[in-house]
Amino acid sequence: MSTAVKPDWRYRVLFTLLAPVLAWHGIAQARRAEDPRMARQKLGKDLPERHDRPVWIHMASVGEVNAAYPLVMELRRRYPALPLIVSTFTPSGAATAQTKLGSDIEHVYLPLDFKRAVHRFFEHIKPRCALIMETEIWPRLFYQCRRNDIPLIIVNGRLSRRSMNKPRWMRAVYRQALQNVDRILARSETDAERFQTLGAAADKIQVIDNIKFAAPALQPPIAPIELPRPYILAASTHDDEELQLSRAWLASDLGQTYLLVIAPRHPKRKAAILQQLRPLTDALAIRSDKDTVTNATQIYLADTFGELQGFIAGAELVCMGGSLIPRGGQNLIEAARLGKVALFGPHMENFADERDLLLQHQAAVQVSDAEALIEKIETLLHQAGQLKAMGARAQQLVGTKADVAQRYAQALESYLVSPRGTAPHTPL
C-alpha cells in the first residue's frame, strides 16, 4: 500500500472554519426533509454496525443514483451474496435510492468531511472497497480510505471544464486527494485527460464509457405520459431557459397543434418560473396543481419529481436543458434510448462525447439559441419520415453501448472479490 496523502492544509483550515455553518445547514436540511437520520449521520452518528465488509457505493444525489442503478443491478446479478451499502448526500438522493434499489440494500447519509465524522463512518461501516460515482471528491474521506487500506475507485469519473478552472489552491487540493485513489474508471477520453491534468497518474485511469448508456436492468418499459395534446418536452431546464423557450414558442404557430411541456431541473423553482411566464400568457397549466390541459393551453409546467422519463417517452421531440445557457447541458442519452430526437443549444460541454456521437450520425440537432431551436422543431415536425429515422438512429447508437454496466463490473472485479482492509486508524 502506498503512503496516504494528507488533505491540503488550506482545505483543513477552511473546513474547520466552516464547520458550524455546515453543521447548521445539515440540521436545517434534515428538518426540511423530515428525516431525523440525516443530521446525525452527517456527523458520523447513528450509523449501522456492519461486520460483513460491504462494498460501499456513494451516489451524491438523484442523478448519480440513476446512473449507478444498472451497475448495482449487475453486481447483484454477478455476486448475489456480495454485501452492499449505499450512501447519498441529499434527501432526494436518499428517497430515490430507497425506491429504486429496494429495502434490502442499506442506505446511509455520507458524513461531512470532518475528521471525527469520517472516522466514525469507517469504524461502523468497515467497507471492503469504496466506489464513488462521478465527481465527488472529499479529501479527508479519500485520505482515510487510503490510510485504512480500503481500495477507492471513482466510477463513471467525469470532470467538467468548470472544475479545471478552479483557483490554483483548489486544484492543489484535488491533486492531493487524487493521490489516494486506487483507480479512476472514466466515462470518456476527455475526462481521463482532465483527471491526468489534475494530477492523477495515467496508469490509474481506464476509460470505460458513460454508464448512462447502460440498458436499464430489470425494469419494465417506460410508460409514456399522455396528455390531451401532442407535446414537445423541454427537459431539465435551468434558470432563464424557461423564459427563452416560452417567448420563442409563443411567437411561433406551434401552439395551434402542440403543447410545450417544461420540466425544470429543480421543480422547487416553480414560483420563480411562474413569475417569469405568467406575464407572457394565461394559457398556462401546472402539473403539481393538477390543472387540466385544454385545447387553449400553450405551456404545461411539469414541476413534479420522478416523471421525466415518462414525459420523454411521450414527447414528439426533446429539448435538452442547460444548453441554452452556459451550464454544460443535461443528459441526452435517455431521450436517444427512447428513440427521441434531442435538440440542444450551444452549451453541451458536460456531454461532449455523447453530443458528438449523435451529431456525427445525424441523430440529434444543435442550434444557436431558443429561436433557432423552435424553428428547427417546426421543420422536423413537417418531416415525419426524417424525424422517425433520426430517432431510430439515436436509439441504435445508444444500443451499441448498452453493455457498459457489465464492462464496469468486469473492471471492478478484483476489488470486489479480494477484500482488503484494517481496523480504522485514529483520524488526523
Helices (H), 325-383: 333-337, 352-360, 370-381
Please say whether the structural domain 231-399 has been given the CATH code 3.40.50.2000: yes
Q: For position 200, what pLDDT does the model report? A: 95
For residue 411, the Cα-to-chain-centroid distance in whole angstroms is 21
Which of these is catalytic: 64, 134, 242, 354? Answer: 64
**Each residue's pLDDT tens digit in the chain (428 positions)?**
578 999 988 999 988 888 788 878 777 776 777 777 888 899 899 999 999 999 999 999 888 998 999 999 999 999 999 999 999 998 889 989 998 898 889 999 999 999 999 999 999 999 999 999 998 899 999 999 999 999 999 999 999 888 888 898 899 999 999 999 999 999 999 999 999 999 999 999 999 999 999 976 546 678 999 999 999 999 999 999 999 999 999 999 999 999 999 999 999 999 999 999 999 999 999 999 999 999 999 999 999 988 999 999 999 999 999 999 999 999 999 999 999 999 999 999 989 999 999 999 999 999 999 999 999 999 999 999 999 999 999 999 999 999 999 999 999 999 997 645 444 444 44
Fold category of 9-214+405-417 in CATH: Rossmann fold (3.40.50)
For residue 218, the Cα-to-chain-centroid distance in whole angstroms is 20
CA 411 to each of CA 99, 275, 280, 318, 415: distance values in angstroms, whole numbers, following the listed order: 27, 49, 52, 34, 9
Any catalytic annotation for residue 378?
no
Give the span between the Cα atoms of 323 and 20, in whole angstroms.
36
Segments making up each domain of the chain, as ranges: 9-214+405-417, 231-399
Q: For position 421, what pLDDT does the model report? A: 43
> Same topology for domains 9-214+405-417 and 231-399, yes or no?
yes
Give the span between the Cα atoms of 397 and 258, in whole angstroms.
28
Judge whether 89 and 61 are in contact, CB under 8 Å: yes
